[in-house]
Structure 1
């Protein structure tokens, strides 16, 4: 199944460009049919789980079998609540891919209701591979090293990606939010971006930042004296 078959409101190409400059984008789309338990994955999601596109039929049992044992209960609970409420949701968790490698994925999405019955019939959204972001954050904490200029640019792109996924906006609007916050606070865009990315991929993070948390950060991104 190619990525065009999976619905989504945010431009996948723009999110991919914002989150990663590598050869394989770390963002993929999915759709879960709640009646059958079958998933529709874009090619990227197959690759994140260590499969070739179309190699397996993605189902909820298959999905949960690849979750890290320590995170499986959390993920199952998130999906159950989303299926019941249809509200937007997000989670950060680890998986063991088909080759047994541990990866860290973020998932965000929302429910679609049947107009006739009002029942939630499917969930759809994005998987984001944040493995490298988590490793980079851990390395920064361990070494307290200063990021190079290229990495500074990368963190701005990642921050734009977070804004695009959470707020459903495009690249220009996301950068505009960072720029406006910088102008109001006299804090450099790259420093605001770094703080935002740490909300999203810092060590120990278990959920994506909510729109309210992001808005609060952008409203006052100045460093706290007790930080």
Structure 2
């Protein structure tokens, strides 16, 4: 399956529109059909896993078989929770590609519900290859550095995923942006992350936040009071 076979999405499209030019890690789109367990990958995701576009049919068992043994259980847990809740998520993990190389990928996404039943039917989002800038040790250190509840960690991870794509930076650098904003404003990182995620995925969002708008928010995340 190629990128042309992955339908566009309003929320993820907002991230794409916020991207600017220049060098950035390889980014690919995916969609997971929860009923069949089959994935739709853009060409970039095939290559991240060591395949030529369309060479294989990606499925959940195939995906998990490529995860690094030390990360497989955690990734499976992330996917299961996302399939149950449909909430936004982000994770950094290692894979063993088809050529036997170890790569580090960040994945961010959310669920889509069937309007008739309310059940989560699809997961969709981005894979980001951060191998060159973010090794496995850095991934473990970044995860260990966030001492928080599952809910707090989830929103912070999702905010980092947004910043990683928009700024083309690694996981730890994205968290540094949130922490610096928190230090300047004396607002908790979790609260800044929650507002940032809502700028992209909030139910009332109609306008695409630009990179400049994100920079302005991070510079002063305090609630704006109308005169």
TM, length-normalised to structure 2: 0.62
What SS class does the counterpart of residue 134 from structure 1 fall into?
A: coil
| Aligned match of 1:98 | 98
Do the aligned partners of 1:86 and 1:112 also contact (CA within 8 Å) in 2?
yes
Work out whether 1:157 is the aligned partner of 2:167: yes
What SS class does the counterpart of residue 108 from structure 1 fall into?
A: strand
| Aligned match of 1:173 | 210
Aligned length: 165
Gaps of 5+ in 2: 139-164, 175-192, 202-206, 223-227
Do the aligned partners of 1:28 and 1:44 also contact (CA within 8 Å) in 2?
yes
Gaps of 5+ in 1: 139-154, 185-217, 220-227
Do the aligned partners of 2:113 and 2:121 also contact (CA within 8 Å) in 1?
yes
What SS class does the counterpart of residue 98 from structure 1 fall into?
A: coil
TM, length-normalised to structure 1: 0.62
| Aligned match of 1:62 | 62
| Aligned match of 2:187 | none
| Aligned match of 1:199 | none
| Aligned match of 1:198 | none
Over the residues paired in the alignment, what is the CA RMSD in angstroms?
Answer: 3.4
**1:15 CA drift (Å):** 6.3
Paired residues for 1:207-226 under 5 Å: none
CA distance in 1, matches of 2:215, 2:2: 33
| Aligned match of 2:12 | 10
